[in-house]
Amino acid sequence: MKFQGDKLRQLRKAKSLSMLDVVELTGISQSTLSDIENNKKNPRPATVERLCQGLKVKEEYFYIDDAVLPTELLPNMPEETRKFIFSDDNVPYIVLSEKAKKSGISPKTLEKMIELLAGENKK
């Protein structure tokens, strides 16, 4: 299987990252990243591992044609929401929203609860 550089570019853009952001996350040079994205260079296994760690994806994403990210299934997702989903700091909030849904708490009720709690914190 061949590494699909276009998927690296798609992922970088989906995460709203510049080439320099990926350099910082992975330690891979900008020229190497550009060559990989443009399918001019096939990355070594160690480079793929650094990309996966820095961008938080599994290797399969770059090698399997139909491997997609959740955000690719929702192309009209607002950029702010996309950034929220991809931020490690927000995982607890995502887990809580899942618990609320499983508990049968509607989004409207959850919103009211947040407004009440936010009002209490202002006092």
**Model confidence band, residue 123 (pLDDT cutoffs 50, 70, 90):** low
Q: Does residue 19 or residue 79 have the better pLDDT? A: 19
What is the reported pLDDT for 14?
80
The three-state secondary structure class of 18 is coil
* CA separation for the pair 36, 48 (Å, rounded): 10
What does 31-96 look like in DSSP terms, one character per residue? HHHHHHHTTSSPPPHHHHHHHHHHHT--THHHH-TT---HHHH-TT--HHHHHHHH-GGGHHHHHH
Domain 5-73 class in CATH: mainly alpha
What is the reported pLDDT for 105?
94
Place of tokens 């040079």: 29
Does the global pTM surpass 0.85? no
> Tens digits of per-residue pLDDT, 1-23?
799 999 999 889 888 899 999 99
* CA separation for the pair 69, 60 (Å, rounded): 11
Q: Where along the chain do its domains lie?
A: 5-73, 87-122
